[in-house]
């Protein structure tokens, strides 16, 4: 059968693939709880029956605030089958954002994972008049539980009515509203149809060359379109999906599940690489020499055998001695690691490919469902430093100012309740203005070079793309995060978050006492180390782009500390506000000698 609505994936899967006991799996009290496709369909139908009996109609809204778990799918598909709009919301946003989204969308029923999230959302519920009730996925005494909803659906089953409603739903109907966290301003509700998302996952379905016996690991938030679209792709390809609620257990879970495919963001890939490097730095003697010789081989890897046969011999040895252990540490079956959400350092892509871990980098936005371009196995489909070629049926062009424009069946219906904002980003010819700057390589790959709003001009009139500089500086083993500043200033400066684990190792090796992060960043030896790192990476840039001053942070930036978005991008305007005094100090003290850097 043809998949034209997302919920068509359920009968399609049942008809196309053999039944297995772990189509969906999630951990409960340390044990995997698994579901067959038959269980999944029954659960989704019972949710649909319950919603119908509760009076929900096509166009009504329900919302979920949840970690990744199989039950998320039961609510999602159950709502879809009767035309109810599912609004998934990120678990760690602010109370004000929760209140805004729930009121703006006029949500009627809310589903949350457990006690912690319920406690967080409880004070807000009374401020959202549209909410009728709240259900939890985990059984909390005194609160309604998902199982109660499912039992209610069983008692009120109406198969004929459900099939009638399903038949009335079109591929062009609104499927979901996803509120983007963004870096500034109030959340925007991106409206996506069944067709938007289906066109997207069908366009990339040829890439994973795996059979239905394989598993995918899902840990990036399902409330984001990136992981959600991939979730539907796994349905379409017949993969088992194992959900991880707690990122703290990711490496153990990867070894246990042995996935063939999973998604990640560049920051996670950087963390994996850093952990590998930390282990290498602790080695002694010949083992240490072999490890770093292999790293050197990996960092010079070129695609399609371009390095020649002798390099191939050395890579074979490095693989046998070192890289094969990397693959085992990631489960031993990982064929594709998809990277999205931000730019991946080319050196990381290079060394992971050398290690036989194929990182497929993609690019897109929530407004484009999300993929616009992706690395793939077709001709010229992989080029380090690019995000691959545009997907099928998507047209792409570069505007005169360098902005990436696109249009295709994956383009959103618009912003919810905001036609004026929709017109700002979709022009009269139907081109969506991404806000990203890029170029198309001679072989057809797309290369992202920055964000239009993030490119700034110094007081000398020199344009600077901070993301390009930041990505290069993050190659340093001693830099975890960096943000480049300098709009309307005489020079570029930076706030640097050290990689504290590597810094501790450096201190131990060099006899420097490491008591606390706060004390260590002020020591002369540490400032000298970071000045040497800045000097090293400044050489890759022109005079106007070079970092003239920097300040070190004494804590790691996270979503919780506020400096990173939920997709782990820098929240530049927040950083400017939170660290205003530090930034002013960098630019106002002793900079009179700075002349035009040319």
**Residue 294: what pLDDT?**
97
pLDDT at 593: 39
pLDDT at 597 over 50: no
- Structural contact between residues 481 and 497, judged by C-beta atoms closer than 8 angstroms: yes
Q: How open is the CA angle 267-436-462, to the nearest 5 degrees?
A: 100
pLDDT at 183 over 50: no
Quote the tokens at residue 31: 């044990």
Q: Which of 526, 528, 556, 545 is nearest to 472 (CA)?
A: 545
Q: Residue 565: what pLDDT?
A: 82
Model confidence band, residue 303 (pLDDT cutoffs 50, 70, 90): very high
Query: What percent of the chain has pLDDT above 70?
Result: 97
CATH second-level architecture of 1-22+34-169?
Answer: 3-Layer(aba) Sandwich (3.40)
If you average pLDDT over residues 115-138, what whole number do you get?
91
d(CA 178, CA 224): 7
- Rounded to the nearest 5 degrees, what angle is found at the Cα of 532, between the Cα atoms of 526 and 535? 140
Is the pLDDT at 372 greater than 70? The verdict is yes
* The pLDDT of residue 324 is above 90: yes
CATH class of 456-588: alpha beta
CA distances from residue 151 to 36, 40, 41, 378 in whole angstroms, order as listed = 19, 15, 15, 48
The pLDDT of residue 185 is 66
CA–CA distance, 77 with 525 (Å, rounded to integer): 58
- Dihedral over Cα of 19, 25, 29, 30: its sign: positive
Concatenating the DSSP letter of every residue in 441-463 gives -TTS-EEEEEETTT-EE-TTS-E
Is it the case that residue 300 has pLDDT exceeding 60?
yes
Q: How confident is the model at residue 591 (pLDDT cuts 50, 70, 90)?
A: very low
Contact 393, 408 (CB under 8 A): yes
Please give the C-alpha separations between residue 3 and each of 13, 282, 421, in angstroms, as whole numbers.
Answer: 10, 52, 31
Q: Is 234 left (phi over 0), alpha (psi -120 to 50) or beta?
A: alpha
For residue range 491-506, what is the model confidence (pLDDT) as tens digits? Answer: 999 999 999 999 999 9
DSSP 344: P
- pLDDT band of 592, cuts 50, 70, 90: very low
Kindly list the domain boundaries of the chain, sorted by start residue: 1-22+34-169, 456-588
pLDDT at 493: 95
Backbone angle region of 435, left / alpha / beta, with phi > 0 → left and psi within -120 to 50 → alpha: left
Indicate the helix (H) or strand (E) that contains 351: helix 346-354
In angstroms, what CA-CA distances link 346 with 10, 383, 440? 38, 9, 17
pLDDT 10s digits, 153-178: 999 999 999 999 999 999 999 999 99
pTM: 0.86
Least confident piece of the model among 22-26, 28-32, 222-226, 430-434: 28-32
Mean pLDDT of 42-53: 98
**Dist CA 484 CA 597 (whole Å):** 17
The radius of gyration of the chain from alpha carbons, rounded to an integer in Å, stands at 25
Average pLDDT over residues 367-374: 97
Residue 380 has pLDDT above 90, yes or no: no
Which one, of 241, 225, 262, 261, lies nearest residue 6 by Cα?
225
pLDDT at 152 over 90: yes
Q: Is residue 353 classed as helix, strand or coil in its secondary structure? A: helix
Assess whether pLDDT exceeds 50 at residue 596: no
Interval 395-417: pLDDT, tens = 999 999 899 999 999 999 999 99
| pLDDT higher than 50, residue 590 | no
């Amino acid at each position: 059968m043809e998949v034209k609505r997302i919920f068509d994936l359920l009968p399609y899967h049942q008809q196309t693939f053999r039944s297995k006991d772990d189509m969906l799996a999630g951990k409960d009290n340390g044990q995997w709880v698994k579901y067959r496709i038959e269980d999944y369909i029954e659960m989704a139908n019972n949710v649909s029956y319950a919603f119908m009996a509760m009076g929900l109609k096509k166009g009504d809204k329900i919302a979920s605030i949840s970690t990744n778990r199989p039950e998320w799918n039961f609510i999602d598909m159950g709502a879809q089958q009767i035309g109810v709009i599912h609004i998934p919301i990120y678990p760690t946003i602010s109370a004000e954002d929760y209140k805004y989204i729930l009121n703006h969308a006029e949500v009627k029923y809310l589903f949350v994972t457990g006690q912690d999230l319920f406690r967080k959302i409880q004070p807000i519920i009374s401020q959202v008049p549209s909410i009728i009730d709240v259900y939890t996925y985990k059984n909390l005494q005194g609160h309604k539980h998902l199982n109660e909803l499912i039992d209610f659906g069983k008692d009120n089953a109406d198969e004929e009515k459900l099939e009638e409603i399903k038949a009335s739903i079109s591929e062009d109907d609104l499927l979901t509203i996803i509120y983007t966290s963004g870096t500034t301003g109030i959340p925007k509700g991106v409206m996506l149809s069944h067709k938007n998302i289906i066109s997207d996952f069908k366009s990339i379905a040829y890439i994973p060359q795996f059979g239905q016996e394989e598993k995918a690991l899902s840990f990036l938030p399902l409330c984001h379109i990136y992981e959600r679209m991939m979730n539907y792709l796994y349905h379409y390809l017949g993969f088992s999906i194992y959900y991880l609620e707690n990122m703290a257990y990711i490496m153990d879970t990867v070894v246990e599940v042995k996935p063939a495919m999973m998604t990640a963001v560049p920051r996670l890939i950087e963390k994996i690489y850093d952990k590998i490097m930390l282990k290498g730095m602790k080695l002694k003697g010949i083992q240490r020499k072999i490890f770093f010789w292999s790293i050197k081989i990996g960092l010079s890897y070129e695609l399609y055998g371009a390095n020649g046969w002798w390099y191939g011999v050395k890579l074979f040895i490095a693989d046998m001695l070192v890289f094969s252990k990397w693959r085992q540490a990631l489960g031993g079956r990982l064929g594709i690691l998809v990277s999205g959400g931000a730019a991946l350092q080319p050196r990381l892509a290079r060394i992971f490919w050398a290690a036989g871990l194929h990182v497929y980098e993609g690019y897109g936005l929530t407004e484009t469902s999300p993929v616009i371009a992706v690395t793939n196995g077709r001709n010229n489909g992989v080029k380090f430093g690019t995000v691959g070629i545009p997907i099928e049926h998507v047209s792409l062009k570069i505007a005169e100012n360098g902005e990436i424009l696109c249009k295709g069946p994956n383009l959103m219906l618009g912003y919810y309740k905001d036609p004026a904002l929709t017109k700002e980003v979709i022009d009269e010819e139907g081109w969506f203005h991404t806000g990203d700057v890029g170029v198309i390589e001679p072989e057809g790959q797309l290369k992202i070079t920055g964000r239009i709003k993030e490119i700034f001009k110094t007081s000398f009139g020199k344009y600077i793309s901070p993301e390009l500089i930041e990505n290069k500086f993050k190659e340093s083993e001693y830099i975890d995060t960096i943000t480049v500043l300098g709009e309307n200033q005489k020079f570029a400066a930076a706030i640097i978050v050290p990689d504290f684990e590597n810094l501790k190792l450096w201190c131990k090796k060099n006899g420097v006492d490491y008591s606390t992060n706060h004390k260590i960043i002020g020591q002369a030896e540490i400032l000298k180390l970071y000045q040497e790192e800045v000097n090293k990476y400044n050489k890759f840039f022109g005079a106007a782009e070079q970092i003239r001053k920097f300040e070190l942070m004494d804590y790691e930036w996270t979503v919780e500390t506020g400096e990173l978005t939920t997709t782990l991008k820098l929240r530049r305007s927040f950083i400017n506000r939170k660290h205003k005094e530090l930034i002013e100090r960098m630019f106002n003290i002793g900079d009179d000698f700075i002349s035009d850097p040319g």
